Amino acid sequence: MNRDNNCNSTVAVLSFLTGAVVGAGIALLVAPRTGEETREILKEYGQDLREKGAKIPTAIKSSAEQAIDRGKDMIEQGRQLISRGTEMVSHGKDYLDEKKQTLSAAIEAGKEAMKQEKEKLAASYEE
């Protein structure tokens, strides 16, 4: 999602600059100035646009570096979560094994007690 936001930001900046150029061009063509004044204004605007245009790759690079850093952080957090999850699963298995042994021992004790009672009852009927 961050990647989409960065792309949207870049598109927005480029769209804004394009709109600014078109708007300024129309304004200069419609404005009541002499040709020389208009050419001078266009020249200055062109230089300003060139300077701003040179800054765009730096801004894009900076945004990309930030996105990469955030991505690396998210990957590390994911690894930590996977590690914690694996550890929790291991503890859960150990707990279940322990309870299974306890339950098995209780069942065996119940079977043994039942066997003894059955023998007692059988002995009492024989008498």
The predicted pLDDT at position 23 comes to 81
Rounded to an integer, what is the distance from CA 125 to the centroid of its chain? 75
Res 126 pLDDT > 80: no
DSSP 1: -
HEC string for 21-78: HHHHHHHHHHCCCCHHHHHHHHHHHHHHHHHHHHHHHHHHHHHHHHHHHHHHHHHHHH
94 vs 23, more confident:
94
Q: Amino acid identity of 95?
A: Y
The residue with tokens 């009541």 is 32
Q: Residue 1 — pLDDT band, cuts 50, 70, 90?
A: very low
| Range 97-115 average pLDDT | 93
pTM: 0.43
pLDDT tens-digit profile of 7-62? 677 778 778 888 887 887 777 677 776 777 777 877 887 888 788 777 777 777 77
Residue-range definition of the domain harbouring residue 76 = 2-126
Structural domains counted in the chain: 1
- Taking the C-alpha atoms of residue 12 and residue 14, their distance in angstroms, rounded to an integer, is 6
Overall average pLDDT of the 89-102 stretch: 93
**108 or 123: which carries more pLDDT confidence?**
108
Region class of 31: left (phi > 0), else alpha (psi between -120 and 50), else beta: beta
pLDDT the model gives residue 90 = 92
